[in-house]
Structure 1
């Protein structure tokens, strides 16, 4: 492997992963709507399209042609998709529901757009590369709260549902991918609780030692990626590599 593609690279985890792999001497392809706030000769930036509203995915065919051309040239063997969303501050505040009465169409639509539709958009666009690249590894960041069997607390209706759908989508895609590329591995990955803007409002009651820095999270996820085998394809994995229940 000579290069890594990081989708959603401007997120806290995405940026930490980019820095981790650059330190390892690899080329990193930074795919995001936002540019990196640091520079490195091995960092290659691709501007992501804005998809804030429903759009015709076919209209972005030229964008993915460019992305695939770049990843082929750089011989990308590892892809992280770090796109995800949990809450919105400001005038139009949106927070995870503590009860069903707090659910709203605005919250549900945005949660599904950023936690399901966008990841699927990139998976579909990169599919021609995934089906033809020997040994390719694709890790889609998800969340443990998307596990239906693990849900003992309730709440967070929209976020749980979006992540559960994402986990199912990746599981189903992994079955299809195996038919054309038996050497590929496609998984969902729970990154743990990372000290970031996404988790900031929910850190107060965390058990001691549970909150990780972005650099710590990147190190853990890179270790999972390094140990990823074909037989793991379709699984939901924890940040320490353990298999989580769907």
Structure 2
């Protein structure tokens, strides 16, 4: 079991469920989030995601807890600005840039700041929440242009980082992972037509992701994993 866990983007949904899961197991849990602390059950750092210096300071404080497992859970599928596109006719450059910022640039900033820690920490595990719809090979339905593009870019980001870290730390395991369809605000508008049993609670998804993390090995570093730990195509 992980002795110390850092959850970035842990203020709600899957991230918050992961924090609850590991705390219940007795792990030291640190959370970085834009959301205010919902109680002081764990170490909580509020990041306004505005100033690079603030984020770096918060992260360095969190790393003092020496996490052996790190989750990055930031991501946006839809917001008040726009829903996922059903056709290229709905494509908007500003929406794409917004999704790339949330789904790629924010995780990239954290990964940049985590680089030295990842390179020097034996057996470190890093799991970045991605999405199966970011797989180019698996895409048979089309649509959701901005979200698919941003998640495909995120998968490349994680792959790139895994290669660079492996040159300095062969024991590191860095992956992107599809958590499965979870009952959160992100999936809420798209739940009506899901097959029975596909929708998971946040607690159930956290349990599955924790199981993937527990079994994660350096040989899988750079892969896009499914919620069950199997390897998905890029």
Query: Shorter chain as normaliser: what TM range?
Result: over 0.9
What 5-or-longer segments of structure 1 have no aligned partner? 52-58
Moved over 6 A (4+): none
Match of 2:121 among 122, 127, 133: 133
Aligned to 1:196: 184
Taking structure 2 as the reference length, what is the TM-score of the superposition?
0.96
- Three-state SS of the structure 1 residue aligned to 2:68 is strand
| Distance in 1, Cα, partners of 2:52 & 2:216 | 31
Instruction: String of CA shifts for 1:6-64, please: whole Å, max 9, x gaps.
Output: 00001300010000000000111010011232332xx001121324xxxxxxx624642
Match of 1:78 among 69, 74, 83: 69
| Distance in 1, Cα, partners of 2:165 & 2:229 | 22
Are positions 1:50 and 2:49 aligned together?
Answer: yes
Aligned length: 233
Q: Do the aligned residues in 2 keep the contact of 1:11 with 1:83 (CA within 8 Å)?
A: no
Aligned to 2:32: 31
Matches within 5 A, 1:226-237: 226-237=214-225
Aligned to 1:55: none
Are positions 1:64 and 2:56 aligned together?
Answer: yes
Are positions 1:165 and 2:153 aligned together?
Answer: yes
- TM-fit CA distance, 1:65: 4.4
- TM-fit CA distance, 1:109: 1.2
What 5-or-longer segments of structure 2 have no aligned partner? none
Segment of structure 1 superposing worse, 105-114 or 145-154: 105-114
Q: Do the aligned residues in 2 keep the contact of 1:134 with 1:181 (CA within 8 Å)?
A: yes
| Distance in 2, Cα, partners of 1:33 & 1:62 | 12
Q: Do the aligned residues in 2 keep the contact of 1:11 with 1:82 (CA within 8 Å)?
A: no
Aligned to 1:152: 140
- TM-fit CA distance, 1:4: 0.5
